[in-house]
Amino acid sequence: MIWNLIPAQKTFNLTKGNKLPPAEKYFESFFSLQKAAVEIVLNKSPNNQFPEDYLTIFPDLNSLTYHKFKERTQQPMINIAHNNGFEFLL
């Protein structure tokens, strides 16, 4: 989930417990960070293997868009976690 993939303030991480953060509040900045990382690696180190992690979801990294990224990555994980009993952070 979002909090396991990017650094978070210690106080936020402690207060959230096992609750899911509201995607509508945090997803845009998360996506921007992910997209920037891919673009930087592709431009600065084209032989780096980091982008390969995205190729199973986006065979063409130029198709890495906000809506596709959310639809293919975050939303399914959030749905699975919620269906397994995780509540949303208010």
Q: Is residue 5 part of a domain?
A: no
Q: Is residue 24 part of a domain?
A: no
d(CA 19, CA 25): 14
Q: Is residue 7 part of a domain?
A: no
Find the domain containing 51 and state its range: 30-85
Q: Is residue 15 part of a domain?
A: no
- The pLDDT tens digits for 19-36 are 887 778 888 888 888 888
**pLDDT, mean of residues 46-65:** 77
Of 12 and 39, the one with more pLDDT: 39
Provide the pLDDT for residue 6: 58
Q: Is residue 55 part of a domain?
A: yes
Q: Is residue 16 part of a domain?
A: no
Q: Is the pLDDT of residue 38 over 70?
A: yes
* Number of independent structural domains in the chain: 1
Q: Is the pLDDT of residue 80 over 80?
A: yes
| pTM (2 d.p.) | 0.66
Q: Is the pLDDT of residue 73 over 50?
A: yes
Q: Is residue 11 part of a domain?
A: no
Q: Is residue 37 part of a domain?
A: yes
Provide the pLDDT for residue 8: 67
Q: Is the pLDDT of residue 56 over 80?
A: no
